[in-house]
Amino acid sequence: MEKLKISEIWIYPVKSLGGIRMSYSRVFPKGLEYDRRWMLIEDTGKFMTQRMYPEMSLFKAKYHSGSFSIHYNNESIQLPFTSIDSSLTAQIWNDEVTVHEVSREHSVWFSERLKQECKLVSFPENNPRPVDRNYAVNNDQVSLADAYPLLIIGQSSLDDLNQRLTVPVPMNRFRPNIVFTDGEPYIEDGWKYFRAGKNRFAAVKPCSRCVLTTIDQESGAKGYEPLSTLSVYRMKDNKVYFGQNVIPLNYHEITEGDEIVPE
């Protein structure tokens, strides 16, 4: 029997901006360390994503041994782990969360490049944001991700999709945290629990997909694929599913190459 192994680990420090591939990552209750602990918000406090601002895909993140930088064209700005003391309320979907503006300088930098008044805010680890009670395992919390701490997708699932497409798409259209190799396409659909490294995870809900998957992460251009093709064979209850939402049950490191063992 083929062994399933972690082939890629991704974090997205600022929600809806570019991701960073890591060779290993610590697992926290809210998700992987530094994953979606920052986001951009409008003046109203509403969260910003590529759904409304596809040009956000052009902002790329890099990791520098303990700090991050955000790059846009030939410009960049450091992403500090400190924020302004004053707190404010932000809205992400139906949730209201308490966040902190990183600095006025950072907010201006993003506002000028997006041509949209906005603020860069951070979400402290201890600030609450409960997972949907219908899928929670044990009063679980989530970062600024859409709804769940982690997302896992099998490489075989993407390979199967790409065989159906005229132009293949990369995995970054789906913004997973964990990619694994081997196994049948969509094997992750049927998982309830699995282990990776020293960690145990609960697979709680298939991930419904939106128009963000149709945005080219290199150019910011919007199209119809892969959502159009996925809707033909991956639709249920008027939603298109690809990948599995995951809640961590232990909080150790995961590493590329770790074996995944479904239970």
Q: What average pLDDT does this structure show over 54-82? A: 92
With 0-12 CB in 10 A as exposed, 13-18 as middle and 19+ as buried, what is 219? exposed
- Among the listed residues 234, 169, 173, the one whose alpha carbon sits nearest the alpha carbon of residue 208: 234
The pLDDT value given to residue 140 = 96
Q: What is the pLDDT of residues 85-138, one digit of tens each?
A: 779 999 999 999 999 999 999 999 999 999 999 999 999 999 999 999 999 999
The pLDDT value given to residue 85 = 72
The pLDDT value given to residue 1 = 62
Q: What is the pLDDT of residues 153-180, one digit of tens each?
A: 999 999 999 999 999 999 999 999 999 9
How far, rounded to the nearest angstrom, does the alpha carbon of residue 255 sit from its chain's CA centroid? 18
How far apart are alpha carbons 86 and 103 in whole angstroms? 10
- Does residue 143 contact residue 32 with C-beta atoms inside 8 Å? no
- Does residue 245 contact residue 150 with C-beta atoms inside 8 Å? yes
pLDDT of 240 > 80? The answer is yes
Confidence at 2, pLDDT banded by 50, 70, 90: confident
Alpha helices in 186-254 (DSSP H): 227-233
The pLDDT value given to residue 86 = 79
Looking at 3.40.50.720, 3.40.50.970, 2.40.33.20, 1.10.1200.10, the CATH number of the domain 4-262 comes to 2.40.33.20
Dihedrals phi, psi of 193, to nearest 5 degrees: -140, 155
* 85 C-beta neighbours (distance < 10 Å), count: 7
- Does residue 13 contact residue 38 with C-beta atoms inside 8 Å? yes
The pLDDT value given to residue 148 = 98
- Among the listed residues 66, 62, 12, the one whose alpha carbon sits nearest the alpha carbon of residue 39: 12
Beta bridge partners of 240: 235
Alpha-carbon dihedral 194, 195, 196, 201, rounded to 10 degrees: 60
In whole numbers, what is the pLDDT of the chain averaged over residues?
96
How far apart are alpha carbons 35 and 58 in whole angstroms? 18
